[in-house]
Structure 1
């Protein structure tokens, strides 16, 4: 659509951010009103509608801008309608599919639930590899029209297969709006704030020390103990959720500036083949697929010989390791960009495979963090809030993509005061991407320290 590099990068991150942020909306619908199966079907159809709109625009020349020109307002409006219909559909589907799948299993078996989320993530990554290889080849050799038609056909078949076995699924009935219950608990706790805290115990006889002010909501029997526990659990998840946002901001660079780097590097593989920049995302996906096999093998062997107290494969430790690796990845990314710029000054293009380090590290970090979050939020959440709670993992991804757009804008504003924007030019070689990567490294490490603080107190 002929947008400048920075604007196109922000459009991608905004679209991805919206798709992930809307998982909260999908989770709310699923927990409150209709079952996870029907929520997935509803949002799946909406995603299909967005694909159809984009396919129509790609097929009609009158709906596309002329070469070298940006789209008109009507063309841009149609693009955004298609994109954000897809984003809404993706958000609702992501919020419900993994929770619906985990509902089919024995929730008391923690190892089984953890393995399910690992293999669920494996399937997502497999789809990503197909998208970044075969679908990219179709787009570059057969055109966007063929690519959209193929996606529409495959997704329609997938929805039909999913719906065909509806009678075999274990469906949990929604328990009403969890946000309403949380709001009532907070309101009654605030109203009774001057009263002395009652001594209350959970059904297992444990007296909780976290967020004890919520216990005041039970005074005068206005709120049940179960509602207080539900609220307490959800609020305790929020600091863990917030601590992973910057990590997802770093991962967002794989879909934006890392791809732009690949476009201006030596992409030749042999004499006649050039690696498409969009296919560079295959590297972290392959890393994810390989690491899931390795992780499952090591976790199974470790669990046999170690007590649960000493288990290093718990979701909360897994998330922390992923956050730490992300800062290492951004150091590597900054060093590679410095090497690329220095080589270009000598009229040499370095190989695109120098980007493999940052792709590898961020891919492994993403597997550890996102897989750990899905497992942790589903396992810790109350039964009535599992869709919304697992949606927090995707919502952190959304906030990371949005934060990426904000940081790009802030970096440009601040660096402009020094006389040269870090990311303001259309030519990547005139920008200072390595400084932006260094900034992300420092910020992510601060978020990691914040995570350690809250994880120790969970």
Structure 2
């Protein structure tokens, strides 16, 4: 076996150094993509249809149900940070996926049990009968619902946190060919989402609406079992990133503490005088080295060496990491700090996405859902339109557009990560503007036909549900650019010990977006309660009497303003410098 066939920093399942042509690569990453597809098959239908479950079965009001969905999604994405830190520093990404898949199975099983047994649900009631008194779920039964829901959230968080970085670990960034394959892998993640999502948005939604939610949750449970087993099957073939002995988040914190302690020390004119351990070939294989950059200079004070008698006793040889940090450690802190503005600029996009998963579905229930003589499309299945389009667009973009753009720009990924993200942010603003226009048309049809108080699902408006497909279509393309671009951006820019944690910046951004959606709905209702007869733009269960069009327009304007802020932020961003070892490989 030749030494160059070994992959430094990665091991096989027995702890031996991974071999390039035996472990990892694109073929092995297909198992990760398959697991990701099964996970989305299980959960995507819930994201778009749980509002119907909470309102129709559990008798929550529409705004409360929408907030429950966004809170569940927000908690799930936020928990991904916790799981990612554990995966990076303690248990490893492989074990994290298997453990999280098991937790998600338990959560879905609990929801299936509650959906099956009538004694665990409130009495059947027609929410649209003004004379009916519908009691929503409460007490122990509500606790049972929340237990299953948030176990599902925790398990889903773990899979989202660990699957993408584990798949990226199957490639060597220092190898030009594998670096391009890794870019294709990230595009493949969205393709896997679309494949699983297409089944979820059609078959799963139909099962939930026609056969019952117990069957729907049961099928989702089976899908997660398949996801976990499929992933585990590849254990002998994976390149496994060994969990770091030190917590990289702690190392980032040490930089700030040391910089504060050394705040009164003058910065040396020559950056070579800043502290760094001696770099040699043996250290280079185990320890990351980054060159100094003249940004965020205040953090450089963490690497200023004091006189030995000031910083340590004569018996102590190693300086305290809370008083003195390596240049590479400081540069990693700079990278994380410089990514935060990019992170913040993507929150508004998820705020828009949350509306497509909640209020847009409720719009669909008021419209004509017939697409054939004897077939009606469930409103929650509307996202299948952009998903089906993306099934064609993603391979076209990855196999045709990227190679052409690569020849024009010289960039391995065709365009930079930040350019790709920016395109998606523009499209999200356009999507919300389209949603506002469509809602004006929908309400106009209801008003013209004296159907403002029509019962959704029973008295459909003479307007096809496919009018809503325009906003889903545009936002689906925005997904392809922004969310995939963010995953690849955070993974490629992050320090070695924060690969899984950094990809969770995307999920954390989405979590804040979902939480912000819940807050936004409440704030809008409070601000407009004296302006409208219904008590607020989004108050009550009658969407025909609401002012959803104004809410969509507000989101479109916020998204546009957010894009201009992003332009300023991205223009100032400087990409992570490659270490000398990486540059040497790339130049070959």
**Could you say whether these structures have the same fold, taking a TM-score greater than 0.5 normalized by the shorter chain as the test?**
yes
User: Using the alignment, how far apart are the partners of 1:249 and 1:21 within structure 2?
Assistant: 15
Alignment match, 1:414: 527
- Of structures 1 and 2, the larger Rg is shown by 2
User: Any conservation in 1 of the 2:93–2:166 contact (CA below 8 Å)?
Assistant: yes
**1:112 positional shift:** 2.0
Alignment match, 1:228: 330
Pair 1:82-2:82 in alignment: no
Alignment match, 1:456: 571
Pair 1:71-2:164 in alignment: no
Pair 1:211-2:287 in alignment: no
User: Any conservation in 2 of the 1:99–1:387 contact (CA below 8 Å)?
Assistant: yes
Deviations 1:1-35 (A, max 9, x none): 11111111111111111111211111111111111
Alignment match, 2:3: none
The correspondence for 2:167, drawn from 97, 101, 104, is: 101
User: Using the alignment, how far apart are the partners of 2:243 and 2:61 within structure 1?
Assistant: 45
Alignment match, 2:434: 332
Alignment match, 1:258: 360
Gaps of 5+ in 2: 1-57, 126-134, 280-288, 306-318, 450-460, 574-588
CA separation of 1:218/1:457 partners in 2, compared to 1, >3 Å: closer, same or farther? Answer: same
User: Using the alignment, how far apart are the partners of 2:409 and 2:351 within structure 1?
Assistant: 35
User: Any conservation in 1 of the 2:247–2:497 contact (CA below 8 Å)?
Assistant: no
Alignment match, 2:406: 303
The correspondence for 1:443, drawn from 554, 558, 562, is: 558
User: Using the alignment, how far apart are the partners of 1:36 and 1:312 within structure 2?
Assistant: 29
Pair 1:117-2:186 in alignment: yes
**1:271 positional shift:** 2.2
Alignment match, 1:187: 257
- Report 1:139-218 matches (<5 A): 139-175=208-244, 176-198=246-268, 199-200=270-271, 206-218=291-303
User: Any conservation in 2 of the 1:327–1:444 contact (CA below 8 Å)?
Assistant: yes
User: Using the alignment, how far apart are the partners of 1:305 and 1:455 within structure 2?
Assistant: 21
CA separation of 1:184/1:152 partners in 2, compared to 1, >3 Å: closer, same or farther? Answer: same
239-248 vs 396-405, which deviates more?
Answer: 396-405
User: Using the alignment, how far apart are the partners of 1:119 and 1:291 within structure 2?
Assistant: 12
Greater RCO (Cα-Cα under 8 Å, separation 6 or more)? 1
User: Using the alignment, how far apart are the partners of 1:402 and 1:299 within structure 2?
Assistant: 35
User: Using the alignment, how far apart are the partners of 2:426 and 2:519 within structure 1?
Assistant: 23
User: Any conservation in 2 of the 1:412–1:422 contact (CA below 8 Å)?
Assistant: yes
User: Any conservation in 1 of the 2:290–2:327 contact (CA below 8 Å)?
Assistant: no
- Report 1:387-426 matches (<5 A): 387-420=500-533, 421-426=536-541
**Partner SS, residue 210 of structure 1:** coil
Pair 1:386-2:535 in alignment: no
147-156 vs 115-124, which deviates more?
Answer: 147-156
Alignment match, 2:546: 431
User: Any conservation in 1 of the 2:76–2:154 contact (CA below 8 Å)?
Assistant: yes
Greater fraction of residues in helix: 1
- Report 1:221-370 matches (<5 A): 222-296=324-398, 297-308=400-411, 313-347=415-449, 349-370=462-483
The correspondence for 1:126, drawn from 166, 191, 195, is: 195
TM-score by structure 1 length? 0.96
User: Any conservation in 2 of the 1:57–1:63 contact (CA below 8 Å)?
Assistant: yes
Query: Number of residue pairs matched?
Result: 457
User: Using the alignment, how far apart are the partners of 1:343 and 1:164 within structure 2?
Assistant: 54
User: Using the alignment, how far apart are the partners of 2:439 and 2:100 within structure 1?
Assistant: 40
**Partner SS, residue 428 of structure 1:** coil
Q: CA RMSD in A?
A: 1.8
**1:140 positional shift:** 2.4
Deviations 1:131-157 (A, max 9, x none): 110111222232222222222223223
421-430 vs 212-221, which deviates more?
Answer: 212-221
User: Using the alignment, how far apart are the partners of 1:294 and 1:103 within structure 2?
Assistant: 25
